């Protein structure tokens, strides 16, 4: 017995010592599963198992590296000979040894996503079919999904249902694209990322001697994050474990959040069906979070029907209650959270590395970034670029820059053939050479390309772009930033191209462009609301200047002390002292795309569970009453998930807003009161919590007429919140009001521009 066993609790010890047979370790959040896996492998090695007899599979290279280092610290260099790594890396290793049985030669290439998309694009072009209907990204994602479901091109093309779906979707040639793609990869002695799974399955299915070799080599199989496995991964592992049956899988069904990548939660929920003698060990003690956070997580996840029952608990202190922030807008949400981080850092003497801001979609990062910048708080974006550094944003900004400065060469380089206009790099080079040789502006060359480059298709395409750029310049010079930006976005072709891209990445990029337009709308409204006697500058030129200044701030490197910002999906496996989960609103979280079925809604709830359990000391949830969407304010209602947390777990300030100020009574509180009353009067039916809560929608924000704004009344502003009109007078720009806002202080607003709603005193 190795002496480190004494450091483990009873269930953890059982997970380490129960080495024979099938074992399912249900590892609740913060339960120390990595330690159990590490010690289990070390125990096997200490008891005479050869390292090459152990196959340990993870989902990230980082996890594998961390486990290997821990094992070496326990048992020495013996751990270096383990077959330990990601599914793809381990299966690639097998294919390197035995892929020749499938006809692949030694040293086969592995195509990355760009390689695959490029090949698909060429195939579509050669077939002479519409590259919009058969867009490379969409074709690649569909092929990937089929391979992970172990459906070959031959099987696909013989399946009447698939072919019928393709006919209805007006893509009847997809099967041929898939078949040709597979043939071209094989001919090039190449596999794509998904082939590393698919071809391993084929190898074991069609060559029993190879399967037999690895079945007897791997006496023990261990799998981390088992809830994230897909069909192909599970079927391969099932074949490998069929002889010794010594398979240990570790996971938490409550943290299965990658269905969009092909993960199948049924693998863990139904594991016992394939292994009737399975021993289930539940690691339920949480070492990470306070009692308050653990209890909130338990309350949330119990609403899911499809799960393995467990009761996570902790011996940690009760800790702080959950903070609930209600903001009038997403901009105010960002300001409040940035301010809270600033204050907490000072009060707790905390590092910025202790803080994390989590959100459902990458597009939400913008308001948070800008608020942090204003307070000079360093931050890093994990799993995504800073908002203004994202490719689609830089592409759109290039058009904006060209509209403001037609001689901006870098903006021209980025935009002239984006989206594709048949203007190649050689032609672009000729444009710049012509401008220099004739000592004329590049804008003149683009508008009169035939005169400088000669007549032909390329010259005509450049001239069309030159005229488009000229139109954008006129629009920008005569309109405010939002009007100009909206026109440019619509007519540049970028928005349409992203809208037509139905992949998850395409949707995210499209949403990011809409968020950029939101930024220009906010910019204009802020300039108008802040104006006094002078005509405000709402030009696209000033907007670009402010963006340039924001973007020039150096981003914190991973070694620096900085707030971490990321999507919830990217946060899985991480932990922070202070977690801010923003955008807790219906149709944002849960996403509007995930509320049409119980299965999707339960995945969203698991995502919420993952977010909550990232917090160690304090959890802050926030939502906005209004959020910019497509350039205008939209009313929001609090997420149904907020109502699944017991009221006692929120701090007093979050529970008693309406007591302090009747005007601040929120839908959340109204719904909370209704739910409490409902509990006393009727029994809630089983499963009813999977339906949308009966919350009252926020009243849409409708501005009052300017003549209704008089001294002494209470008003509400979408950005500044509630306030009292102190004084009204006249200016050269029209009637203006001095308003004392409850949280923002005095503001002077021009009534013809300001959005004010009269509220009851």
Q: Is beta strand 714-717 parallel, antiparallel or unpaired with respect to 721-731?
A: antiparallel
**Which of 254, 257, 356, 251 lies closest to 589, judged by CA?**
257
**Residues 5 and 40 sit within 8 Å (Cβ to Cβ):** no
Say which of 11, 527, 614, 672 is annotated catalytic. Answer: 614
Query: Backbone phi, then psi, for 338, in 5-degree steps?
Result: -60, -45
Q: Is beta strand 23-27 parallel, antiparallel or unpaired with respect to 247-251?
A: parallel
Say which of 255, 290, 567, 626 is annotated catalytic. Answer: 255
Does residue 647 carry a catalytic annotation?
no
**Coil/strand/helix, residue 212:** helix
- Integer-rounded Cα Rg, in Å, for the chain is 30
Say which of 98, 194, 225, 370 is annotated catalytic. Answer: 225
| Residue corresponding to tokens 């500058």 | 537
**Which of 502, 570, 548 lies closest to 364, judged by CA?**
570
Tell me how far apart the alpha carbons of residues 13 and 94 are, in angstroms, rounded to a whole number.
33
**Which of 361, 287, 323, 340 lies closest to 563, judged by CA?**
340
Tell me how far apart the alpha carbons of residues 398 and 413 are, in angstroms, rounded to a whole number.
9
Side by side, which strands form the sheet with 220-223? 83-86, 54-58, 220-223, 247-251, 23-27, 279-283
> Would you state the torsion angle of the CA atoms of residues 99, 104, 105, 108, taken in this order, to the nearest 10 degrees?
-90
**Residues 757 and 703 sit within 8 Å (Cβ to Cβ):** yes
DSSP 404-444: H-TT-HHHHHHHTTSS--S--HHHHHHHHHHHHHTT--HHH
**Residues 143 and 149 sit within 8 Å (Cβ to Cβ):** no
**Residues 53 and 219 sit within 8 Å (Cβ to Cβ):** yes
Say which of 224, 501, 586, 617 is annotated catalytic. Answer: 224
As a residue count, the chain comes to 761
Does residue 131 carry a catalytic annotation?
no
Q: Residue 632 CA to chain centroid, in angstroms?
A: 23
Does residue 505 carry a catalytic annotation?
no
- The neighbouring-strand residues paired with 325 are 622
Q: Is beta strand 757-759 parallel, antiparallel or unpaired with respect to 745-750?
A: unpaired
Does residue 603 carry a catalytic annotation?
no
In whole angstroms, how far apart are CA 701 and each of 356, 636, 761? 31, 10, 17
Say which of 34, 473, 598, 724 is annotated catalytic. Answer: 34
**Residues 640 and 308 sit within 8 Å (Cβ to Cβ):** no
Query: In angstroms, how far is the first alpha carbon of the chain from the final one?
Result: 74
Say which of 33, 326, 486, 527 is annotated catalytic. Answer: 33
CB burial of residue 311 (10 Å; 0-12, 13-18, 19+): exposed
Measured CA angle at 688 (ends 687, 691), to 5 deg? 110
Tell me how far apart the alpha carbons of residues 327 and 719 are, in angstroms, rounded to a whole number.
9
**Coil/strand/helix, residue 280:** strand
Tell me how far apart the alpha carbons of residues 37 and 21 are, in angstroms, rounded to a whole number.
16
Tell me how far apart the alpha carbons of residues 433 and 416 are, in angstroms, rounded to a whole number.
16
Tell me how far apart the alpha carbons of residues 258 and 252 are, in angstroms, rounded to a whole number.
13
Tell me how far apart the alpha carbons of residues 278 and 697 are, in angstroms, rounded to a whole number.
48
Instruction: Provide the token pair at 177.
Output: 């694209």
Does residue 33 carry a catalytic annotation?
yes
Does residue 255 carry a catalytic annotation?
yes
Instruction: Provide the token pair at 384.
Output: 């995504």
* Active-site annotation, residues: 33-34, 224-225, 255, 614
């Amino acid at each position: 017995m190795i002496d480190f066993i004494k450091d483990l609790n009873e269930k953890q010890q059982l997970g380490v010592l129960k080495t024979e047979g099938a074992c399912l370790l249900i590892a609740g959040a913060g339960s120390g599963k990595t330690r159990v896996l590490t010690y289990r492998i070390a125990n096997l090695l200490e008891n005479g198992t050869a390292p090459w007899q152990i196959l340990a599979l993870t989902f990230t290279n980082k996890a594998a590296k961390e486990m290997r280092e821990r094992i070496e610290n326990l048992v020495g260099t013996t751990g270096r000979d383990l077959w330990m790594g990601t599914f793809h890396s381990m299966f690639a290793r097998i294919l390197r040894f035995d892929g020749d049985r499938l006809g692949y030669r030694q040293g086969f290439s592995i195509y990355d996503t760009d390689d695959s998309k490029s090949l698909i694009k060429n195939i579509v072009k050669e077939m002479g079919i519409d590259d919009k209907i058969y867009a490379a990204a969409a074709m690649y994602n569909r092929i990937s999904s089929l391979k992970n479901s172990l459906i070959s091109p031959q099987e696909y093309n013989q399946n009447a249902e698939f072919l019928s779906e393709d006919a209805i979707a007006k893509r009847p040639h997809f099967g041929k694209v898939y078949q040709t793609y597979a043939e071209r990869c094989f001919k090039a002695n190449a596999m794509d990322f998904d082939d590393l799974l698919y071809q391993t399955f084929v190898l074991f299915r069609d060559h029993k001697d190879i399967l037999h070799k690895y079945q007897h080599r791997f006496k023990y199989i261990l799998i981390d994050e088992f809830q994230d496995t897909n069909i192909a991964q599970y079927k391969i592992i099932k074949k490998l474990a069929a002889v010794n049956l010594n398979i240990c899988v570790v996971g938490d069904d409550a943290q299965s959040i990658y269905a969009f990548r092909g993960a199948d939660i049924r693998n863990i929920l139904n594991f016992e069906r394939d292994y009737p003698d399975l021993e289930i060990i539940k690691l339920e003690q949480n070492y990470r979070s306070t009692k308050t956070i653990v209890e909130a997580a338990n309350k949330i996840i119990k609403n899911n029907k499809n799960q393995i029952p467990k009761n996570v608990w902790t011996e940690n202190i009760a800790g702080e209650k959950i903070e609930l922030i209600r903001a009038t807008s997403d901009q105010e949400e960002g300001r409040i959270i940035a301010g809270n981080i600033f204050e907490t850092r000072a009060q707790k003497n905390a590092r910025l590395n202790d803080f994390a801001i989590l959100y459902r979609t990458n597009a939400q990062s913008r308001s948070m970034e800008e608020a942090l910048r204003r307070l000079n708080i360093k931050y890093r974006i994990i799993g995504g670029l800073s908002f203004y550094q994202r490719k689609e944003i830089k592409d759109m900004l290039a058009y904006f820059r060209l509209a403001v400065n037609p001689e901006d060469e870098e903006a021209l380089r980025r935009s002239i053939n984006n989206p594709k206009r048949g203007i190649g790099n050689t032609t672009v080079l000729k444009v710049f050479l012509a401008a220099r040789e004739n000592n004329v502006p590049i804008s003149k060359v683009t508008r009169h390309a035939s005169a400088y480059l000669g007549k032909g298709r390329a010259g005509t395409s450049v001239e069309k772009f030159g005229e488009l750029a000229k139109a954008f310049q006129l629009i920008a010079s005569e309109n405010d930033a939002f009007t100009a930006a909206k026109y440019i976005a619509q007519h540049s072709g970028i928005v349409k191209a992203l809208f037509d891209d139905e992949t998850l990445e395409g949707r995210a990029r499209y949403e990011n462009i809409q968020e950029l337009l939101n930024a220009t709308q906010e910019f204009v409204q802020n300039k108008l609301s802040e104006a006094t006697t002078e005509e405000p500058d709402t030009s696209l030129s000033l907007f670009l200047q402010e963006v340039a200044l924001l973007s020039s701030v150096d981003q914190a490197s991973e070694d620096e002390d900085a707030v971490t910002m990321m999507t919830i999906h990217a946060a899985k496996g991480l932990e922070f002292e202070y977690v801010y989960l923003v955008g807790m609103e219906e149709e944002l979280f849960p996403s509007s795309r995930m509320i049409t079925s119980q299965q999707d809604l339960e995945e969203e709830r698991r995502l919420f569970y993952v977010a909550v359990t990232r917090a160690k000391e304090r959890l802050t949830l926030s939502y906005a009453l209004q959020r910019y969407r497509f350039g205008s304010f939209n009313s929001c209602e609090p997420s149904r998930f907020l109502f699944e947390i017991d009221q006692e777990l929120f701090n007093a300030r979050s529970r008693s807003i309406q007591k302090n100020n009747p005007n601040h009574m929120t839908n959340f509180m109204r719904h909370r009161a209704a739910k409490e009353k409902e509990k006393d009067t009727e029994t809630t039916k089983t499963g009813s919590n999977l339906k949308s809560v009966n919350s009252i929608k926020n009243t849409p924000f409708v501005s009052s007429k300017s003549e209704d704004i008089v001294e002494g009344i209470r008003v509400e502003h979408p950005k500044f919140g509630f306030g009292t009109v102190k004084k009204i007078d006249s200016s050269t720009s029209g009637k203006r009001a001095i308003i004392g806002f409850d949280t923002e202080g005095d503001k002077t607003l021009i009534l013809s521009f300001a959005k004010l709603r009269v509220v009851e005193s």
